[in-house]
Amino acid sequence: MNQGVAITGMGIISAIGNTVEENFTALTNNKVGISTIDNIVTIHSDSIKVGEIKKTNEALVAELGLPADNNFSRTAMLGAIAAKQAVKNAGITDINEYKTGLISSTSVGGMDMTERYYYEYFKNSSILKYVESHDGGDSSQKIADTLGITGIVSTISTACSSAANAIMLGARLIKAGKLDRVIVGGTDALAKFTINGFKTLMILSDTDNTPFDNERKGLNLGEAAAYLVLESDEVVRKEGKKVLAYVSGYGNANDAYHQTASSENGDGAFLAMQKAMKVAGLGVDDIDYINAHGTATPNNDLSEGRAIIRMFGNKAPDFSSTKPFTGHTLAAAAAIEAVYSVLSLQNNVIFPNLNFKTPMSEFDLLPQTSLKHKPIQHVLSNSFGFGGNCSTLIFSKSE
Amino acid sequence: MEAVKQELKEKIISVLNLEDVNPEDIKDTDPLFGAGLGLDSIDALELIVMLDKDYGIKLLDPKEGKAIFESIETMAKYISENRTK
Amino acid sequence: MSKCYINGTGCISAQRTFDTVFLEAAEVNNQENVLTIKDPVYKNYISPGAIRRMGKGVKAGIVASSQAMQEAGLENVDAIITGTGMGCMEDSEKFLKAIIDNNESFLTPTSFIQSTHNTVGAQIALGLKCTGYNFTYVQNAVSFESSLLDASLQFASDEIENVLVGGIDETVEYTMSLFKLAGYIKTESEKPYQIFPAKSKGVVYGEGATFFLLENKITSSTYAELAGVEIINKLPIEEAEQKLNQFLAENNCRISDLDAVVLGYNGDIDDEIYFKNLAENCLKNITQLYYKHLSGAYHTASAFGLWIGAKIIHTQEIPAIVRANAIAKDQYNTILLYNHHKGRDHSFTLLKRCQSTT
C-alpha cells in the first residue's frame, strides 16, 4: 500500500458538537443533532428538521472576537472556528514557518447574508459590506486571514462533494512538493436558498433521515465546518509530529448521467471508489469501514448501494451513514466525515447508521446499526454531489 | 375538457421552455415522458408545482405524478376531477 | 513529469472572438459600464432538449469548450476543470428572487439545480459523457488559475494526457445593480469610461467563457507551452518584484527573457498601483499589454488574458488595441501574465513558444 499524506490536526463544529471530542462523544452515545430550525425564519419550519448548530451569529462573532464592522457570513465564521481548532490541534504556533496553504470549500458561500439583505441593500448602506461576502472565495479569504495564511489559497465548489475534493487537492499539493503544509476542509451554513432548493426537489424528509432504509423519505439539511491539517513527511519528521492518520487514497469521477440524479448503477461512485483504491494501493479486503454518503434520498442510497456491491461484491465491509447525527452538511459533509473517519481509525470503532428499520428491497446490504468495536486499519469515505460529482477518500491508520 | 387540454399544452411549453415545440405538435395521447416529448424527473417536479399554483392540487409524493403526467389526456382528466381553483 | 501545452482554445467574450482569427474585429466600448458577451448561435451547438434549462454561462461554456476540443482534434478528455468567481448567477438570482418574492411558495427546482457553481463543468461532462476528473474552483481572481494549477499538477504526475480548463463568469442584472451601489463599478457620470490609465475607482464589469485544451504533447495545433502558474493570496506591494523573480527562476527564466507581459489593468485606480509598481520598474523595458478594456473586468477575465497571450505566441503579432506601451520585439517567445484583484488573489502565469510550432 501507499502510505499517503499525514494528517496532523483536525477541527470541527457541527450540530453534534463544537469540538472533535464533543463530536466523538455524540457519535458514540447516539446523541443526534437533528432538530427543528431556530436561527432561520422559514415557512417550512414545521415540515423540516435540520442539523443546526445552536449558536446565533452574534454568539459566533463573540467567539471569534470579531469587530462590530466585520462582514463575515455565517459560513465564514463556522469555517474560521473549525480551521483555528485544526491548526491548534496540530500544534502549529508559527503558520508561515513552512510553505502553508488553505484549500477550502463551500457550496453557497455567503448566501446566508445575501438572502437576508437582498432588497435591503438599497435602503441601508451599513450592510453593503456584505455584498462582497457572497462569493464562494470570500469565506476562504477570511479563514486565511484568521490563520495568517498568505500563499496558496483556493476554494472548491462541487456541491455536496466539495470538501472531499479540497482534501484531495491538498494531498496532491503536498505530494507534488508545492506545499509543506495545507489546511483542507469545508464549510456551509444553513440557508433558505438550500432549504428551498432541496424542498423543490422533494427530497427533504419531514422526520429524522433514515439512510439505506426501504421507507426512507429524504434528507435533513445540516450546517457544519471541519478542517484537517495535512503535512509533508519532512515536516512530520523534523517537528516530531504525532500523525493522527493518513490520507492514503482519493478518487474523483463524474457520473455524467444527470444534473442532479445519480445513475441507476452508481457508475460515477464506482469509478471514484476504484480510483481511490488504486491510489491507496489497497484491495477490497483491506477496507474495514465505509463511511457512506448515505443521504437517505431514494436515489442516492440505491445508487450508492449498487456501486458498493459492484466494488465489493457480496462481502461489503461494515458501512454506515453518519448523516442521521448531523444532517447533510453539503460542502462540509466530506470534511466532517473525514474527521469521523479518523476518529474511527483512532478508536477502532464504527459509528452506527441510526434510524434504520427495513432493508431495501433492491439488495441485501445492511448498514451497521449499532456502535461496533473492531480493529480498523482503513476507512473509505464517499461523497457525491450535484453535477454528477463523485469523490472517494481513503484514510489509513498512522502506525 | 378540450379547453383544459389546450391550456395545458401551452403551459407545458412555456413552463418547461420547450422553444421548438408548438401546441399542435403535442397529441393528447402522446407520452409526455421518455420517448414522447422527452420530459424527465425535473420536469415532473415543475409540473407538480404547476398543478399546485394554477389548479390548487397538491401532490405530496413525486411518485403520484407518474400516472397523472402520462399524457395530456390523463393530466386534463385528473385536473378536471380534482381542481380547487 | 509531463509538460503541458495549449493545443486548442475557445473564447466567447464581449468582443467577437468566437469566429475570428484573433482580435481583428475587436472594438473598445467606452459607453457601457457592464460589457456583455457577443453570443454565437447556441442552437447550432446544443440540442433543444439540453439548451432549454441552460443559463448563458453554461451555454457559452459548452460552446467555448467544444471549440477548444475541436481545434485540438479531440472528441473526449481525461478531465474537466473549471473556474468561476461568481458561478451561475443567472439561475442563482432567479431562484433567490423567487424565494423572497413568493415567500418560499410555488418554487420550482430547475433554477436551483442549475445554480451550483459546478454546473458548467457538469454540463460539459454530461454532453461528452465524460466520466473523468471534474473539479470547479471558486476563488475570486484566481478561480481560473487554480484550475490551471490543478491541471499542471496532474500533468506533472502523469495522471492525465489531456484536460479541458476554462474560466466562466456571467453578469446578471440585479447583482450588477448591487455592485454599482457598492461602488465596484464605475458610475454613469464618468462616461466615456477609461481603463488605462485609470482615473477613478471601480471597474467596467464584464463576462465571458474562455476554454483551453491542454495536452501533454506538442501537436500541429499547439499554441504554446503553459510553463508555469502560481497563485498567491496576499502579496504586499513591496514584495511583488521579489516574488515575480522567484516565480521566473523556478521556471528557468529571468525578466530579461520576457518578450511581453500581459497585465490585468482593470480601470480601478487602487488596483492599478500593483500593476504599475511592476510595469514602471522591473518590467519597464518589456512590451506591456492589457485586455480588460475589451473583455470587461470579472473574476475569470484572466482566462481571456491567457487567450491573448497564447494567440500572440501563435500568430507572432500583437494587435495595437492591446498595447499599453510602444515597445516592440521581433519575436514573442516568452510571455508572462500578472493579475490580482483588490490586492488579493495574485497570479503569475508563464507561456513559452514551442520550437516545433514555428
For B3-18, what is each residue's pLDDT tens digit? 999 999 999 999 999 9
Q: Which residues of C touch B45 (CB under 8 A)?
A: 108-109
How many Å lie between the alpha carbon of A218 and the closest alpha carbon of chain B? 11
Kindly list the domain boundaries of chain C, sorted by start residue: 5-215, 227-357
Verify whether the Cβ–Cβ distance B45 to A260 is below 8 Å.
Answer: no
| pLDDT at residue number C356 | 58
Contact criterion met (CB below 8 Å) for C313 and C332:
yes
Verify whether the Cβ–Cβ distance A169 to C128 is below 8 Å.
Answer: no
As a whole number, the mean pLDDT across chain C is 97
What kind and span of H or E run contains A368?
none
Integer Cα distance of A300 and A265 in angstroms: 10
- Is A378 considered catalytic here? no
Contact criterion met (CB below 8 Å) for C317 and C324:
no
A221-222 sheet: strands from edge to edge: A34-35, A50-51, A221-222
Same fold yes or no, A5-239 and A249-396: yes
| pLDDT at residue number B35 | 78
| pLDDT at residue number C357 | 44
CB proximity list for A24: less than 8 A, separation 6 or greater? A17, A343, A347
| pLDDT at residue number A368 | 98
Out of C85, C126, C140, the one facing A256 most closely (by C-beta) is C126
Contact criterion met (CB below 8 Å) for A302 and A365:
no
Contact criterion met (CB below 8 Å) for A227 and A82:
yes
How many Å lie between the alpha carbon of B59 and the closest alpha carbon of chain C? 12
Contact criterion met (CB below 8 Å) for A30 and A185:
no
CATH number where B7 lies: 1.10.1200.10
Please tell me the total count of domains within chain B: 1
A28 touches chain B (CB under 8 A): no
For C108-154, what is each residue's pLDDT tens digit? 999 999 999 999 999 999 999 999 999 999 999 999 999 999 999 99
| pLDDT at residue number C313 | 98
Task: Give A346: exposed, middle or buried? Use CB within 10 Å, 0-12, 13-18, 19+.
Answer: middle
Map residue A14 onto helix, strand or coil: strand
For the cut 90, the answer to whether the pLDDT of residue B68 exceeds it is yes
Tell me how far apart the terminal alpha carbons of chain A are, to the nearest angstrom: 13
The CATH code belonging to domain C5-215 is 3.40.47.10
The CATH code belonging to domain A249-396 is 3.40.47.10
| pLDDT at residue number C1 | 81
* Domain span holding position B43: 2-82
Kindly list the domain boundaries of chain A, sorted by start residue: 5-239, 249-396
Residue of B nearest to A197 (CA): B45
C102 touches chain B (CB under 8 A): no
Segment 53-82 of chain C within 8 Å of chain B by CB: 53
For C222-279, what is each residue's pLDDT tens digit? 999 999 999 999 999 999 999 999 999 999 999 999 999 999 999 999 999 999 999 9
| pLDDT at residue number B20 | 85
How many Å lie between the alpha carbon of C168 and the closest alpha carbon of chain A? 14
- φ/ψ of C224, rounded to 5, equals -165, 165
Write b or e for each residue in A214-239: b if 16 or more Cβ atoms lie within 10 A of its Cβ, otherwise e: eebbbbbbbbbbbbbbbbbeebbeeb
Verify whether the Cβ–Cβ distance B19 to C110 is below 8 Å.
Answer: no
CATH of C227-357, one of 3.30.565.10, 3.40.47.10, 3.40.640.10, 1.25.40.10: 3.40.47.10
Vertex C308: Cα angle to A176 and C175 (nearest 5): 85
Verify whether the Cβ–Cβ distance A256 to C129 is below 8 Å.
Answer: yes
Assign domain A5-239 to its CATH superfamily.
Thiolase/Chalcone synthase (3.40.47.10)
**Subunits in contact with chain C (3 or more CB pairs closer than 8 Å):** A, B
Q: Which of C214, C224, C203 is nearest to C308 (CA)?
A: C224
Out of A102, A118, A253, the one facing C131 most closely (by C-beta) is A253
Going residue by residue through chain A (399 aa), what tens digit of pLDDT does each one get?
A: 778 999 999 999 999 999 999 999 999 999 999 999 999 999 999 999 999 999 999 999 999 999 999 999 999 999 999 999 999 999 999 999 999 999 999 999 999 999 999 999 999 999 999 999 999 999 999 999 999 999 999 999 999 999 999 999 999 999 999 999 999 999 999 999 999 999 999 999 999 999 999 999 999 999 999 999 999 999 999 999 999 999 999 999 999 998 888 999 999 999 999 999 999 999 999 999 999 999 999 999 999 999 999 999 989 999 999 999 999 999 999 999 999 999 999 999 999 999 999 999 999 999 999 999 999 999 999 999 999 999 999 999 997
| pLDDT at residue number A263 | 93
> What does the DSSP 8-state code read for residue C73?
T
| pLDDT at residue number A12 | 98
Q: Which residues pair with C352 in a beta bridge?
A: C225, C334
Active-site choice (A44, A134, A258, A328): A328
